Structures are given as C-alpha cells and as structure tokens.
A and B are shown apart, each in its own frame.
Chain A
C-alpha cells in the first residue's frame, strides 16, 4: 500500500516538474516562480522516488 502511495506521489512530482516549465512557456507564471516551483517539485521527486524505489526493493526481496 505504502509503495503505491509513494509511486503515485513520485509520478505527480515528476508531472509537476513538467507543468511548471509549460506554465512558464505559456506566460502564465514569472521566471522566479517557475524556478522555485521546479525546485520544490524536483525535491519532492527525489524524496518519493527514493521511498518508492526502496519499498520496491524490499517487497521484491520478500
């Protein structure tokens, strides 16, 4: 269950990493807002993807 949760959150973070530059390209947000949004989405990706990867590894061992 936890693994699925982290997987979903990781994918959402990565999608957000793409949404911010699209919004910047469309002129909906300023450069600074894009950069900070992209940074936070990236940090979220690393946290959730790492948790997802470690849970996947544990479940494949058992």
Chain B
C-alpha cells in the first residue's frame, strides 16, 4: 500500500515539477495584476444563482447589505492575514508546501478530493448554462427541491453542453482562457445592465427615491420561499466569508500570492469581493425578484437583458467551467498513469457532465459551496499551525520531509477527525467550519507536540 502511494506521489511530483522551486524575485507581479485577476475571477455563472437564492431564503435588505459588507471584509482579511503572509515567506504552491508538512501520500489524497470537488463545481456551472439554453428549446428548469433530472430535455441539454465544454477544453484550453479574459468585464456589465433594466418593473423611480422601499418590500422582504430556510444576517456574513474558503483559509491561493511582492497584496482581493461578489449577488437578487422569484438563471437573464443576457449566462458558465475542468483534470492525473492531457480532460468532463444533469448540484449550490470549503479547510489549519505555531512552541517543523514519511498520519487524522466532528456539530452547516478550523489547529499542534519523529 505504502509503495503504491509512493509511486502515485512520484507521478504527481513530475506533473508539478515546473513549480517546485520558490518563485524568484524577478517573477513577482504588480498589485494591479492582482486587482485585475481578482476582479475578473469572481464574477462567474454561479453568481446568478447565489444572489437569487439569498432572496428565496427570505433575507432582509438590511441583513443582506450588512452581512455582505462584513462577510466580504472577513474574506479579504483572511486572504491578507492567513494566506498571503505564508505565500510570500515560502513562495511555494500549497502542493509543495503541504508535501513538506504532510508527506507526498497525503498530497495524493488531497488532490483526488480536490478533483472530485472541482467536477461537482463545474457540473453546477454547466447546469446554470443549461437553464439559458433551455429557454430556446422550451425545456422546463427543474424545481427548487429537485434532486434527479425532471425531463429528458434537461438531460439532453446538460449532456450536449457538457460535451461541448469538454471538447472545447480539450481543443484549446489556452485560447479559451484568452476568450474568458475578453468575456469577464462584459459579464460584469450583464449583471449591472440586467438589474438596472429590471428596476422599473419592480417600481423603482428614475430618481431612486423609493429604491430602499422597493428593496425591502419587493426584493429582500424577509419572506422565504416554500421549503427554503430563513436566512439571517449571520447566514449572509458566513456565506460571503466562506464562499472562497478553500482559497483563503484553505490556502490554495498560495499558488497565486507566491508572486506577490508583499503580504499586503492580499488586500487586492477586495476587487473580487466588492465589485465582484457583492454587486453581482445584489444584481441577481433584483433580477430574480423581477421574474416572480423563479429560480431560473436563464429566464432571469433573458427577461432582464434579452439574448445578450442569455449569452451572458452561457458564457459565464462556459468560461468558468473551462478552468475548473482543467484543474480537475490536472488533479486527476495522479490516478491515470501516462494518460495524455486530452484523455484526462475527457474523463473529468464525462464525470462533470453526468453530475451536471442532476439539478441538485445547482439547486443546493449554497450548501455545496459550504461543503466544498469545509472539506478542504482542515488542510489550511494544518499548514497554518505548522508554519506559525510549531516554531513558536519549539516543535520541529517539516518532519514529513526531514524523515521521509510518505504520510504524516497525524495530519491525516486531524483532517478526517475534524470533518467527522464538524458533521456532528449541532449548528447550521454554514457555521461549522469556524469551530472546525480551531479544532483542527489545536488538535494538530497537540499531536505534533506529543511524540517526536514518528509519522
């Protein structure tokens, strides 16, 4: 078993060989690049669903605004104080840093978990795009509580889109990435245009004098749709905070911030959180209220901005599913020996396409986002403890690397143990990651301090 894990780990090392060395000083990037990257990356197809769900969950306008302001601030601070300082000190990706801490075997398990999570996320993006295509073919979007596909039409559209996205990802990932760069400012404009155009339908006057009244009575009026939990300020705050949990607290954005000149570059994430997430979620909330609170991103965008709106949903899904498919393929390469890139992308795309036809992936998107962050969060806690807390307590660092361990079993126990505890915590899913993070930190430091030099 250990030999097999070591062989897998060795294959994985070869894949990531190009970024094994810390980033050199001449490759560091300016702050403007980080601002642009964050602004472009955080307006995706899923934003059409997230903002609309806040309305369906009956949040009030005041709770929404305060929750988003503070939650996004906490996300920015997490990037700035947790992720960026470790990145600029090590200049390594999470893959290589985790390898030093937890051993190559654990990085294999982490990669497989990541690949599966990426496939589900890309599946949700395909499903969102399918709602746009469904309008043209008059295919009914599944209901809010739907788990399984509701019609053959839905299955056919998701399969056709999944196949198209996968084929395009195989044919030219780089070209599509450039197309995504062209798309991103326009997709942002689609959100603003859609919301602005829908305001008169909701009764907002041209001088905005009754905007707040309409917002509190017709959009975020505090009434949850049938079968949806009622959201409070805390739900919104935590959602905005954990929406990219795997990236900031989970430290996968070490890959990005290793190119930062200073740790304060973490503050540039505000360009993704405020003009990106916050504004896009508010806009999609306005759009869903104007279409009678029907959860159908394609219909929302069509009613708001016509065919350009439909194209916005489709392109937003396509351009964000593409890098997600690519990352899933890269992560899956560990268990697919000697497969060429196209074959791996095809495998990831097939899995993603099958997932996408189950409407639960986008009808329960908010819960999935919470689970995605929760699953990877303990790894962030382990790396944070190893980097900052162990040296403070005089406990030896990087023992997996120094003693050539395949797996740091303590790290693995902390990861899975934390998830088990989180599963049984008697609080809402959105709040579980925070006590989980503290449990993982304390447990890892305790176990690492117990006995020396044994994995």
Contact = CB atoms under 8 A, between A and B. Distances in A.
A25 B182 contact: no
Given A25-B206, A45-B186, A49-B182, A38 B305 contact: yes
A17 B182 contact: no
B307 A14 contact: no
Interface string A17-42: 11011101111000100111011001
B142 to A, nearest CB: 27
Interface in B247-290: none
A23 to B, nearest CB: 10
Interface string A47-58: 001100100010
Contacts of B307: 35, 39
Interface residues of A, number: 23
B306 A35 contact: yes
Contacts of B194: 21
B306 A46 contact: no
Contacts of A42: 186, 308, 311
B199 A17 contact: no
B192 interface: yes
Contacts of A49: 182, 186
Interface residues of B, number: 21
A36 B308 CA distance: 8
B66 interface: no
Contacts of B185: 14
21 contacts: A14-B186, A14-B189, A18-B192, A18-B193, A20-B193, A21-B192, A21-B197, A21-B305, A24-B196, A25-B196, A25-B197, A25-B206, A34-B197, A35-B307, A38-B193, A42-B186, A42-B311, A46-B182, A49-B186, A50-B182, A53-B182
A35 to B, nearest CB: 3
A53 B196 CA distance: 29
A27 B200 contact: yes
Tell me whether chain A's interface is mostly helix, strand or loop, or mixed: helix
A25 B199 contact: yes
Given A35-B307, A42-B308, A18 B189 contact: yes
Nearest to A10: B182
Given A24-B197, A24-B200, A39-B307, 5 more contacts: A21-B197, A24-B196, A35-B306, A42-B186, A46-B186
Contacts of A38: 193, 305-306, 308
A24 B206 CA distance: 10
Nearest to A25: B196
Nearest to B206: A26
Contacts of A53: 178, 181-182
Contacts of A46: 182, 186
